Structure 1
């Protein structure tokens, strides 16, 4: 599979927005939203919730920065970011099932349920904006 695919201006804009979002989210994991993010870590995870939040914040910042600056690996970064979104999804489900409030807006079952539907959007956003889907289609030809 090709690691570099030409993308449109719209894809580039959305890739930059996603990168900024990831860097911001990662920074917030380490600072002002640290406790809030701990509510998303399922109780069955055998590691300290704080460590999970710190490590996931670092990973988010790295993914965001590489998405901005490592052009030659953009397709692979898109797949890694999509995988990251899949891996953190159980935390969102656990937050919904356990009824844990967070961020001042996830304060009802309805709000937490609606949030679950945004995870596939983030996955698609990562794959589309990096050209990962396009690269996959080309490699299958």
Structure 2
């Protein structure tokens, strides 16, 4: 049964990485304008610059989650979780400023989206063994 759990974590990590790559590509191309709707007004960069920089970062992080050696997965999981924490103010800004993007065109949909962020954080941590009790808690 343990091998099944390991395979599930591996698949979850690959899916998370693929999702980050897809989102990053969206930042650079087909969803660029929609991602700008999530950049809070207080960010000191131009919205488009913020979207482009974060897009390259998501592509790099997603690629690393999929391809990096297992010895780095805990660090990468922490980085992914931190990324999801860091972009959360953008989700809040989309909600509070009533900006429609990604089909989130009502307050209820934008509010519901806020509750998905903790799921992504958990997914990043769980799929990279950061929440496993049997593994050493060090990042090395």
TM-score, reference length from structure 2: 0.90
Choose between structure 1 and 2 for higher RCO, CA contacts under 8 A separated by at least 6 residues: 1
User: For 1:78-122, what per-residue CA distance to the aligned partner results, in whole angstroms no more than 9, with x for missing partners?
Assistant: 00000010000000001000000002x100000000000000000
The answer to whether the 8 Å contact 2:130/2:137 transfers is no
The answer to whether the 8 Å contact 2:74/2:129 transfers is yes
Aligned residues: 133
- How far apart are residue 132 of structure 1 and its match? 1.6
Unaligned runs of 5+ in 2: none
Unaligned runs of 5+ in 1: 1-6
Asked if residue 83 in structure 1 is aligned to residue 77 in structure 2, the reply is no
Higher relative helix content: 1
Match of residue 4 from structure 1: none
TM-score, reference length from structure 1: 0.90
Q: Runs of at least 4 residues of structure 1 off by over 3 A? A: 135-140
| CA distance, structure 1, for counterparts of residue 87 and residue 133 of structure 2 | 25
The answer to whether the 8 Å contact 1:75/1:135 transfers is no
| CA distance, structure 1, for counterparts of residue 49 and residue 129 of structure 2 | 32
SS at match of 2:137: helix
RMSD between aligned residues: 1.6
- How far apart are residue 138 of structure 1 and its match? 3.4
